Chains A and B, each alone.
Chain A
Amino acid sequence: MVGAKTEGQQATVAPAIELRGISKAFGPVQANKDISISVQPGTIHGIIGENGAGKSTLMSILYGFYKADEGQIFIHGKETQIPDSQAAIRAGIGMVFQHFKLVENFSVLENVILGVEDGAMLRPSLAKARKSLKALADEYELHVDPEALIENLGVGSQQRVEILKALYREADILILDEPTGVLTPAEADHLFRILNGLRDQGKTIILITHKLREIMEITNTVSVMRRGEMTATVKTKDTNPEELAELMVGRKVLLRVDKVPAQPGEKVLDIKDLHMVDDHGVERLKGINLNVRAGEILGIAGVSGNGQSELMEVLGGYASATGEIRVNGDPIDLTGKYSDGRSRRERGIAHVPEDRQEHGLIMNFPAWQNVAFGYHHSEEYQKNALLMDNKKMVEIAQDKMDRFDVRPPLPGLAAKNFSGGNQQKIVVAREIERNPDLLLVGQPTRGVDIGAIEFIHKQIIGLRDQGKAVLLVSVELEEILSLSDRIAVMFDGHIMGEHLPDQTDERELGLLMAGVTGEGDR
């Protein structure tokens, strides 16, 4: 299936992985329904689907985290039981998770041998690993300093360590879960070169992603999942992004955002020489100067970890800083009593936080209590001086959930039981409906399905069209380019430059994101 050269042997070569009729249910939710898939050795197989489509569940079954209710797994033609991850490793399966599983203050070598040490003494294992790491590095372009501490490595290098870990355990089937989420375009390209090298050496790779571009660029075959089912498996060269998007969502999708030109007004947000030092004494913001006007969306692009999160935290009122921030002309408190989230809300700043599960929602609270969250001091939620008006809170939540099409529209359901997109809709409904002067939006569509992305983008643009200021932080360049009226790029706590979306492209922004300047930016 790979190409002409293997066409003849196809019948004799057993697939590297074959799944037959895999089903898995969590209570009433059928996460995987009768999934069959066959991956030829020496190919890159993409699995694409919306959040909650069941990709991660399927891979977790393959890696022994979950046990399938039904179905069989064949590895190289042999039926294999995978009760735990040890069995998966023995079967030659390696997994690179979206969130790396590395010990931060261990060296690369120590991380690589963790769990597969040869004996009680570390020295021989380390020596052996050092040798084999060097061989792997030469073979696959996987260069990492074996003695470096993980915490001192960039994300790209950390990911290479994860791949090395799998290869050191002699994996010949490699599963990568959303591997480019944290990478710059250049780092992603590097990763793809490595993956291509691995494929040429006969490794089999399964790439889980929601980015159509990556699928088109690197895979041989692609399987599309929707609502727990495998809806199609096609050769990549026979398909196109529009068709895949339609297969994923089950209807035609607008990949571009429609909007009228911005009509910027007065400066709503004005940041001057903002500095911020985190708990570890590291300076995260190194003199930020920015402004956002009424009726415009300022997008901040950048690889995650370059100060965008910290900027949002300072603006949202949960990190202190030095410098000056004015909202509607008046300075806001950056360190004192009035620098908390409640004071910010009172100044007309609403905030859709980057991490909705960590910050935006209380996962165990029902939706109605989450809809009041952060605004629970407001008049409408109080019954009298002592008690809150629970009934009114439920009514308000029901109304917002209906209008923002939150599914299922049940205010009593705990936040954790909604899908990522619907959780985000709850947060967006709560923040936008407060009619803020300034909306802070961090990663609005992270882990959100395509259908909900459209809806959330429309809401953000709607707010802009009402003459409100929007500050958008996203690591998805595509999102920045399609939503923003102006784009600023952040790198290492600095603003690297500002561009207009129609006068720039992914390549130029990508260079700025990597800290490269001097291409005629003003």
Chain B
Amino acid sequence: MDKMPKWADIALIPFLNLLIAFVLSGLVIFAIGENPFKALMTMIDGAFGSTYGWGYTLYYTTNFIFTGLAVSIAFKAAMFNIGGEGQAMIGGLGVGIACLFIPAVLMPHWTIALVFAMIAGAIFGAGWALIPAYLQAKRGSHVVITTIMFNFIATALMGYLLIGPLKLKSAQESASASFPDVTNLPTLHEVLAPLGISFSKSAPANVSLFIALAMCVVVYLLMNRSRLGYEIRAFGESPTASVYAGISPTKIIIIAMMLSGAISGLMAINATMGQHERLILNAVEGAGFIGIAVALMGRNHPFGVLLAALLFGFLYQGGSELSLWSKIPRELIVVIQGLVILFTGALDNMVRMPVERMFIAAAKRKDA
């Protein structure tokens, strides 16, 4: 055995990473004079203790599944798409335009509205990724730099549209008019009620969750079973070998980035269409960046992304409950999230290498 067993790679290591992050967070909480165990209980209770908590946790999870999947696809093609935030914003613009401007006769039911919104969100998100992708493929401008810049451009563009052309004239804030009722997506409360399960009415989780789960399966099949996925992975592993095999780098860079942008853009069906039901500034709330951590922690595997998204959903929801019910300031929640990202993403090897050595040593002892 030259490496550790698979279960250790996908379960034990992330668990240890998390444990260290939580222990350190606990120490920080202890240092400011609060009880870390009570804090943890508050977070768990806030995120999972009620259907209301679940509703928010799953809402955030849905966002992170989309952005996490988006980052992971680009990762597989060896590209670091930092632009999930902007792509999701512009995806929201697409969703908003579809909801506001497609005539009611074409959208008799929310399911049809959802299809339109998904198409528009995906196209807008993909379009926003296309320019950095083109610049990378044809001009060699690094995609990390250009996607970061495109986040700022997206923010500025949304700002302009929401105080200008798309602004609801009668309102004070920078937001569009509310979407027509037919485009409002059923919440989990409405979905689960016929099954006799009562779910909080005020929680934002909605049917987009199921789209997100389906996306995990679609991305898995795309990456591991389709020819395109094979080519994307081959390119990501070795661009030189891909050229030998007749795979066009330009094509793969552009397609992978557009897929990534499209899935980021789909996030808007959850946030913009499902929750806010109108266009607002900052509907994305940093989910594009969290997606990077989610993809890292999920090892770029769709089901890993799903689990990591759930974890971050918990941190988001549990964190806001914590700041509500304790003296722990809001900023400390960000510290905890930062520690989790640090240990699961950036410092992964710190845990991985000793554990790997341990397994190899153990295997050797057994052989001897």
Chain A residues in the interface with B (C-beta under 8 A):
25-29, 316-318, 340-345, 351, 353, 358-365, 369, 372-374, 376-377, 382, 386-388, 390, 417
Contacts and interface: CB of A to CB of B under 8 A. Distances in A.
A358 B367 contact: no
A357 B18 CA distance: 36
Nearest to B229: A388
12 contacts: A28-B1, A340-B243, A341-B244, A341-B246, A341-B247, A343-B246, A358-B241, A364-B237, A365-B233, A365-B234, A374-B246, A387-B226
B247 to A, nearest CB: 8
A417 B241 contact: no
B50 interface: no
> What are the nearest 10 A-B pairs in CB distance?
A342-B246, A341-B246, A27-B2, A374-B245, A359-B244, A387-B225, A318-B243, A340-B246, A362-B237, A362-B238
Interface of B: 1-3, 221, 224-227, 230-231, 233-234, 237-238, 240-241, 243-248, 360, 363-364, 367
Contacts of A365: 233-234, 237
Interface centre among A26, A343, A359 (most CB of B within 10 A): A359
A171 to B, nearest CB: 33
B227 A28 contact: no
Contacts, number: 79
A358 B248 contact: no
B225 A318 contact: no
A417 B1 CA distance: 12
Nearest to A358: B240
Given A344-B246, A382-B227, A363 B237 contact: yes
Contact of A417 (B2, B243, B367): B2
B235 to A, nearest CB: 9
B234 A373 contact: yes
Nearest to B230: A376
B226 A373 contact: no
Contacts of A316: 244
A364 to B, nearest CB: 5
Contacts of A358: 238, 240-241
A373 B241 contact: yes
A22 B230 CA distance: 43
A340 B244 CA distance: 8
B243 A390 contact: no
Contacts of A360: 241, 244
Given A373-B234, A388-B225, A388-B226, A29 B244 contact: no
Contact of B234 (A317, A318, A345, A362): A362
A343 B246 CA distance: 8
Contacts of A318: 243-244
Contacts of B245: 341-342, 373-374, 376
A377 B234 CA distance: 14
B246 A317 contact: yes
Contacts of B1: 27-28
Nearest to B238: A362
A340 B243 CA distance: 8
Contacts of A361: 241
Contacts of A417: 2
B246 A345 contact: yes
Given A316-B244, A344-B246, 9 more contacts: A28-B1, A317-B246, A351-B244, A353-B244, A359-B241, A360-B244, A376-B230, A390-B224, A417-B2
A375 B363 CA distance: 39
Contacts of B360: 27
A360 B234 CA distance: 12
Most buried by A among B1, B225, B230: B230
B227 A359 contact: no
A360 B240 CA distance: 9
A378 to B, nearest CB: 11
Contacts of B246: 317, 340-345, 374
Nearest to B245: A374
B237 to A, nearest CB: 5
Nearest to B224: A390
Nearest to A342: B246
Given A317-B246, A341-B246, A387-B221, A377 B227 contact: yes
B225 A390 contact: yes
A443 to B, nearest CB: 14
A500 to B, nearest CB: 32
Contacts of B248: 340
A351 B245 CA distance: 10
Contacts of A29: 2
Contacts of B364: 25, 28
Contact of A28 (B226, B230, B237, B367): B367
Nearest to B221: A387
A352 B357 CA distance: 37
Nearest to A341: B246
